[in-house]
């Protein structure tokens, strides 16, 4: 159960002046709306202690309140989704033709509603509410729905989680979410800005489990159990690691339907109780997918709706890089946290807080808490026992005076997590063998002279460059003009990649391996600046799209070098949905049970693992390793 210390940035909705009563009986609509009016856009956390908060009308996040113009930056945090719920009063949203939400998270006519989060809450639509939507969520650049349940008390209701109620929604992340009941479990739509899902459970929907109406969608870890089609899509869909259980009339339906020219990539799908795993048709006639013949196979190891583009001979299937889950660290009791204000930091960012924050980090606490906005003029070193640096959605080093803002050094905690900051200054420098996690934040860039694993989850950043490291990213948004990401001899896996502006989006070289599964380039400038993907004696698989309204899309999609030979794929000569640029034997694959009729061949077995050292980095790498043990001596002799 998550609790926070008392401070001005944590708004406990049960305390004065709001006094919401989570007793499941008292109507809390006015109290909660008052809290939302006064704190939307204020870089604060609206905290819900355990309880059931009854509401009878739609709650909203206002674009403007009194003299304050809002741009997002709002967080709802429950104590625990199992014990903290917003419950709709029975019989108030009766008309399914005019859907109404328990909570509408705002947004307006442009994609500038940043850094919004809803976490550890249940939204329960009660009974007798066939016109109910549990949550209409909206965020741009980064934002997330984490660890939430959306429940219909009687199975009725229009949508559990609605992400299509407004255009330009995303990029955003939905993770560890369960939807029970409703006509549609999740609805997505419109052409931009991409949405990524991981660990999504859909139970008992009556029309479709997941309905995508044109969006770029990436899903990993879907579990569905119902009598209807689990996923319907006519946008760009990447679906991985899904277990789909059909019941009753599902035996007459495909588990997954792609239609109307949609692009689809599926991997490791298990579907039982359905007519067939996949119905993929180019026609806008959805019913054409339902008319496809039955297929008894229940497993689909890998499928892509369109052939891969490959400048050189390459397997048509994905790399299947090993996937590590994002590490978690314990949520410490708030009384043990080091609140940087208690060490003299200025939460108004008027004075320099560099020294005070360093004192908090060196205090011996494992969690360091930032309840405000802070100015830094010199780097702060993350060391000692610290394992979590936690914000409230506000800024640290907004003017980027410290260079870098943070440097992660060695310490006793094997994992260090930066979490929930609107921005983290000029850079975070990694000088450690430890694992570092960036979650729900923006950082100008991350520089690295380390060998530790790196995880990005719901992050906006610029111009990343990693040498010989393993990087995993979920919902990564990079928006600089120029080269976005260089993977130099390492392993890079991205689940949901959204970019803006021209320049190479991933350059992979020196034996590196890159796998991009889902997402798209929103090419707003400089499409002729550089190839979208550059691969130099390395291996890449990408299922990745592009949207461009400026008239200047990417002119060159792929530039690949093998040995001394370089080839390019220009616009009109191929696609990146998907692009395969790797040699046979460089995959990490599973044994499949064969192909599904009407689909491409399944993956073959076998795997190869190797450690790659960059010659020009050998001395520095070995010297770094010497600090950690005898391995450095062996590397240097090699």
| C-alpha neighbours within 13 Å on the C-beta side of residue 332 | 18
**85, part of any domain:** yes
DSSP label at 247? -
Instruction: Scan for tokens 């708004």, then name that residue.
Output: 11
Q: Are residues 347 and 392 located together in one domain of the fold?
A: yes
**431, part of any domain:** yes
Contact 525, 505 (CB under 8 A): no
Q: Are residues 420 and 557 located together in one domain of the fold?
A: no
Write out pLDDT tens, residues 570-624.
999 999 999 999 976 666 544 233 333 333 222 222 333 333 344 434 444 454 4
Q: What pLDDT is attached to residue 584?
A: 65
Q: What pLDDT is attached to residue 503?
A: 98
Write out pLDDT tens, residues 519-554.
999 999 999 999 999 999 999 999 999 999 999 999
Q: Are residues 544 and 496 located together in one domain of the fold?
A: yes
Q: Are residues 448 and 480 located together in one domain of the fold?
A: no
- What are 56's two structure tokens? 């009878």
Write out pLDDT tens, residues 362-374.
999 999 999 999 9
Averaged pLDDT, 259-281: 97
Task: Say which residues have a Cβ less than 8 Å from residue 212's Cβ, sequence separation at least 6.
Answer: 187, 188, 189, 231, 232, 233, 234, 235, 237
Q: Are residues 382 and 513 located together in one domain of the fold?
A: no
**Which own/partner contact pairs does 60-69 have at CB distance under 8 Å and 24+ positions apart?**
60/33, 60/36, 60/103, 60/104, 60/106, 61/36, 61/104, 61/105, 61/106, 61/116, 62/36, 62/37, 62/106, 63/106, 63/108, 65/37, 65/38, 65/40, 68/41, 68/42, 69/41
Averaged pLDDT, 138-153: 98
Write out pLDDT tens, residues 369-397.
999 999 999 999 999 999 999 999 999 99
What's the pLDDT band for 67 if we cut at 50, 70, 90?
confident
Q: Are residues 113 and 155 located together in one domain of the fold?
A: yes
**116, part of any domain:** yes
Write out pLDDT tens, residues 433-483.
999 999 999 999 999 998 999 999 999 999 999 999 999 999 999 999 999
**520, part of any domain:** yes
Residue 22 pLDDT exceeds 50 = yes
**441, part of any domain:** yes
Which residue, 160, 186, 202, sits at the end of a domain? 160
**528, part of any domain:** yes
- For residues 283 and 281, give the distance between their C-alpha atoms in angstroms, rounded to a whole number: 6
Write out pLDDT tens, residues 156-174.
999 999 999 999 999 999 9
Domain count, the chain: 3
What's the pLDDT band for 80 if we cut at 50, 70, 90?
very high
Q: Are residues 470 and 440 located together in one domain of the fold?
A: no
Q: What pLDDT is attached to residue 109?
A: 77
- What are 508's two structure tokens? 């992979």
Q: What pLDDT is attached to residue 586?
A: 64
Which residue, 452, 477, 507, sits at the end of a domain? 452
Write out pLDDT tens, residues 23-45.
999 999 999 999 999 999 999 99
Q: Are residues 415 and 498 located together in one domain of the fold?
A: no
Look at 103-112, 143-152, 481-490, 543-552 and tell me which has the smallest mean pLDDT. 103-112
Q: Which run of H or of E encompasses 542?
A: strand 539-547
Share of the chain above pLDDT 90, in %: 89
**508, part of any domain:** yes
Task: Say which residues have a Cβ less than 8 Å from residue 286's Cβ, sequence separation at least 6.
Answer: 232, 257, 259, 260
Q: Are residues 448 and 479 located together in one domain of the fold?
A: no
Q: What pLDDT is attached to residue 636?
A: 28
| Composition of the chain by helix, strand, coil, percent to 5 | 10, 45, 45
Which residue, 160, 184, 219, sits at the end of a domain? 160
What's the pLDDT band for 509 if we cut at 50, 70, 90?
very high
Contact 121, 146 (CB under 8 A): no
| Residue from 111, 130, 121, 180 nearest 151 by CA | 180
Q: Are residues 356 and 428 located together in one domain of the fold?
A: yes
Q: Are residues 356 and 494 located together in one domain of the fold?
A: no
Residue 174, SS3 per DSSP: strand
**497, part of any domain:** yes
Q: Are residues 40 and 137 located together in one domain of the fold?
A: yes
Identify the domain containing residue 60 by its residue range. 10-160
Share of the chain above pLDDT 70, in %: 91
The enclosing domain of 47 has a CATH number of 2.160.20.10
Averaged pLDDT, 242-257: 98
What's the pLDDT band for 107 if we cut at 50, 70, 90?
confident
Q: What pLDDT is attached to residue 288?
A: 97
Write out pLDDT tens, residues 199-216.
999 999 999 999 999 999
Q: What pLDDT is attached to residue 73?
A: 96
């Amino acid at each position: 159960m998550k609790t926070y210390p008392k401070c001005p940035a944590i708004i406990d909705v049960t305390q004065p002046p709001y006094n919401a009563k989570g007793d499941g009986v008292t109507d809390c609509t006015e109290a909660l709306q008052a809290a939302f009016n006064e704190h939307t856009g204020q870089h604060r956390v609206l905290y819900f202690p355990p309880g059931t908060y009854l509401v009878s009308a739609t709650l909203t996040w206002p674009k403007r309140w009194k003299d304050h113009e809002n741009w997002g930056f709002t967080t709802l945090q429950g104590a625990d989704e199992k014990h903290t719920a917003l419950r709709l009063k029975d019989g108030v949203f009766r008309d399914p033709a005019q859907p109404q939400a328990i909570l509408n998270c705002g947004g307006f006519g442009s994609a500038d509603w940043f850094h919004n989060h809803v976490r550890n809450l249940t939204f329960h639509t009660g009974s007798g509410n066939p016109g109910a939507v549990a949550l209409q969520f909206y965020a741009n650049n980064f934002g997330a729905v984490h660890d939430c349940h959306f429940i219909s008390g009687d199975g009725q209701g229009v949508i559990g989680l609605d992400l299509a109620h407004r255009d330009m929604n995303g990029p955003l992340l939905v993770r560890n979410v369960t939807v029970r009941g409703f006509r549609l479990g999740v609805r997505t739509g419109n052409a931009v800005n991409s949405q990524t899902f991981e660990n999504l459970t859909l139970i008992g929907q009556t029309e479709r489990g997941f309905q995508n109406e044109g969006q770029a969608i990436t899903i990993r870890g879907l579990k569905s159990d119902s009598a209807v089609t689990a996923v319907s899509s006519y946008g760009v869909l990447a679906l991985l690691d899904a277990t789909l259980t059909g019941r009753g009339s599902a035996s007459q339906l495909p588990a997954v339907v792609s239609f109307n020219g949609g692009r689809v990539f599926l991997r490791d799908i298990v579907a039982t109780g359905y007519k067939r795993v996949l119905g993929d048709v180019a026609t806008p006639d959805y019913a054409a997918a339902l008319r496809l013949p039955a297929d008894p196979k229940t497993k689909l190891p890998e499928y892509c709706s369109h052939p891969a583009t490959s400048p050189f001979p390459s397997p048509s299937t994905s790399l299947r890089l090993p996937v590590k889950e994002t590490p978690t660290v314990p949520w410490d009791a708030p009384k043990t946290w080091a609140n940087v204000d208690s060490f003299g930091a200025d939460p108004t960012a008027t004075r320099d807080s560099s020294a005070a924050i360093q004192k908090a980090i060196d205090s011996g606490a494992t969690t360091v808490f930032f309840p405000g906005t802070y100015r830094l003029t010199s780097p702060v070193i993350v060391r000692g026992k610290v394992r979590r640096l936690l914000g409230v959605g506000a800024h640290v080093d907004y003017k980027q005076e410290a260079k870098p803002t943070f440097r992660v050094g060695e310490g006793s905690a094997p994992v260090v997590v930066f979490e929930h900051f609107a921005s983290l200054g000029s850079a975070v420098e990694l000088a450690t063998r430890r694992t570092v996690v960036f979650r729900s934040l923006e950082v100008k860039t991350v520089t690295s002279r380390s060998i530790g694993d790196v995880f990005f989850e719901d992050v906006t950043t610029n111009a990343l460059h990693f040498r010989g490291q393993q990087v995993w990213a979920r919902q990564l948004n990079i928006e600089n003009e120029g080269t976005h990401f260089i993977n130099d001899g390492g392993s890079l896996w991205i689940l949901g990649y959204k970019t803006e502006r021209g320049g190479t989006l991933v350059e992979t070289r020196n034996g590196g391996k890159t796998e991009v599964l889902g997402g798209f380039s929103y090419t707003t400038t400089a499409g002729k600046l550089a190839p979208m993907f550059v691969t130099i004696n390395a291996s890449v698989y990408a299922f990745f799209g592009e949207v461009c309204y400026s008239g200047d899309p990417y002119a060159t999609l792929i530039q690949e070098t093998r040995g001394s030979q370089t080839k390019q794929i220009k616009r009109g000569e191929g696609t990146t949905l998907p692009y395969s640029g790797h040699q046979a034997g460089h995959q990490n694959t599973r044994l499949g049970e064969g192909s599904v009729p009407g689909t491409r061949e399944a993956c073959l077995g076998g795997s190869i693992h190797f450690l790659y050292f960059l010659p020009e980095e050998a001395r520095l790498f070995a010297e770094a390793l010497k600090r950690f043990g005898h391995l450095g001596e062996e590397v240097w002799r090699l």
